[in-house]
């Protein structure tokens, strides 16, 4: 399975959740009998899973967490270009493509392969829920589509830092799984300026609601396009996502008609409407 890509190529929550759902149906339940990893230390943990079976596949933010039957976790972060797929038959790494970073072969024959062209991905085997070796995962905020994520939570979490609201969202701390695309979309939908350093309670309520909305829509779209792709009808998933703001700098805002502004905020390309998303005046 090719990764379902949104148009930045970077998997965000909807893409990773879609991969998880696809893999759940295909992962064998029997033990891993062989494994290989690329020499980079980022992938070196892969063989530690030999001898274990995968009993469940969870997702936290943009991390996939395979629960092993011996009480450990096999964690995969897809980075920018990573993809995971189950193949019916094992290949030896030397026969495989040059972008293969890890593989796990099950006793019944199939092989799970991790491919990552740009090598921003990561593999770790840890004790169950002991994620100290992965600081971003260890400090991850609540799941945006779960019950722990509310406007009240977001308001409190954003107040802990004086950084721009978009930068905070991308840190994964106030909430898990929001990347550049869905951050721009949710901020636009909630009419919150991405550089705001003070977010009011009503703004936080709107923003939390819009984060849930854009991610749910993304999940529906990615799931649909991926099914099309698997059926052989489609191009890469996600290009059909309807985006109101991200990547539309210079085009008229769908709400007010003013041209959307494209700029850089803390090193990330950012698009917003300077008319609908007013930057609040700092309190003196
Ligand atoms: Zn506007």
Are 130 and 244 found together in one domain? no
Please give the pLDDT value at position 229. Answer: 43
Instruction: For residue 56, indicate whether it is catalytic.
Output: no
Please give the pLDDT value at position 165. Answer: 98
- How far is it, in rounded angstroms, from Cα 106 to Cα 35? 9
Are 99 and 173 found together in one domain? no
Task: Categorise residue 172: left if φ over 0, alpha if ψ from -120 to 50, beta otherwise.
Answer: left
Our separate counts of H helices and E strands in the chain read: 6, 10
Characterize the bridge pairing of strands 268-272 and 261-265.
antiparallel
Residue range of the domain that includes 94: 13-138
Are 124 and 176 found together in one domain? no
Give the distance (Å) from ligand 1 centre to CA of residue 238. Answer: 24
Domain membership flag for residue 280: no
Asked whether 28 and 37 are in contact (CB, 8 A), the reply is no
Instruction: For residue 251, indicate whether it is catalytic.
Output: no
Domain count, the chain: 2
CATH code of the domain covering residue 215: 1.10.8.50
Catalytic residue among 3, 11, 14, 174: 11
Please give the pLDDT value at position 221. Answer: 83
Give the distance (Å) from ligand 1 centre to CA of residue 261. Answer: 10
Catalytic residue among 42, 62, 67, 248: 62
Are 175 and 82 found together in one domain? no
Are 133 and 18 found together in one domain? yes
Domain boundary among 112, 138, 164: 138
Among candidate residues 169, 148, 150, 147, the one with its CA nearest the CA of residue 158: 169
Measuring CA to CA, how many Å separate 165 from each of 120, 136, 266? 25, 18, 11
Domain membership flag for residue 246: yes
Give the distance (Å) from ligand 1 centre to CA of residue 203. Answer: 16
Give the distance (Å) from ligand 1 centre to CA of residue 243. Answer: 14
* Whether this model's pTM surpasses 0.75: yes
Kindly report, residue by residue over 101-111, the tens digit of the pLDDT: 999 999 999 99
Please tell me whether residue 155 adopts helix, strand or coil conformation: helix
Are 198 and 263 found together in one domain? yes
Catalytic residue among 4, 12, 101, 248: 12
Kindly report, residue by residue over 73-89, the tens digit of the pLDDT: 999 998 888 889 999 99
Catalytic residue among 163, 173, 262, 268: 268
Ranges of residues in the chain with a pLDDT under 50 are 1-7, 228-235, 239, 284
Are 71 and 179 found together in one domain? no
Give the distance (Å) from ligand 1 centre to CA of residue 249. Answer: 12
Question: How are the residues of the chain apportioned to helix, strand and coil, as percentages rounded to the nearest 5?
Answer: 30, 20, 50
Are 27 and 134 found together in one domain? yes
Please give the pLDDT value at position 79. Answer: 86
Are 129 and 162 found together in one domain? no
Are 103 and 48 found together in one domain? yes
Q: For 198-232, give the DSSP string.
A: ---HHHHHHHHHHHHHHHHHHHHHHHHHHHHHHTT
Instruction: For residue 12, indicate whether it is catalytic.
Output: yes
CATH code of the domain covering residue 98: 3.20.190.10
Please give the pLDDT value at position 258. Answer: 97
């Amino acid at each position: 399975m090719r990764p379902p890509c949104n148009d930045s190529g970077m998997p965000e929550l909807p893409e990773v959740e879609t991969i998880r759902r696809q893999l759940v149906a295909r992962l064998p339940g029997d033990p891993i009998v062989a494994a290989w990893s690329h020499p980079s230390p980022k992938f070196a943990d892969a063989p530690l899973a030999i001898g274990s079976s995968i009993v469940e596949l969870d997702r936290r933010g943009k991390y996939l967490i395979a629960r092993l039957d011996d009480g450990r976790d096999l964690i995969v972060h897809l980075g920018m270009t990573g993809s995971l797929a189950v193949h019916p038959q094992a290949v030896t790494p030397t026969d495989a493509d040059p972008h293969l970073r890890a593989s796990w072969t099950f006793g019944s024959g199939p092989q799970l392969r991790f491919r990552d062209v740009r090598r921003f991905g990561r593999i770790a085997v840890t004790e169950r829920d002991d994620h100290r070796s992965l600081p971003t995962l260890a400090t991850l905020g609540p799941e945006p589509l779960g019950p722990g994520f509310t406007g009240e939570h977001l308001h409190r979490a954003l107040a802990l830092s004086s950084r721009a609201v978009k930068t905070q969202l991308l840190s994964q701390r106030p909430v898990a799984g929001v990347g550049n695309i869905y951050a721009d979309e949710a901020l636009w939908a909630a009419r919150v300026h991405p550089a705001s350093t003070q977010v009011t309670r009503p703004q936080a309520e709107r923003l939390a609601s819009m984060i849930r909305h854009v991610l749910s829509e993304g999940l529906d779209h990615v799931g649909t396009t991926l099914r099309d792709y698997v059926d052989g009808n489609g191009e890469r998933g996600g290009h059909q996502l309807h985006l109101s703001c991200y990547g539309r700098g210079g085009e008229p805002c769908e709400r007010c008609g003013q041209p959307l502004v494209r700029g850089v905020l803390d090193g990330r390309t950012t698009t917003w409407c300077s008319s609908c998303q007013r930057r609040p005046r700092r309190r003196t």
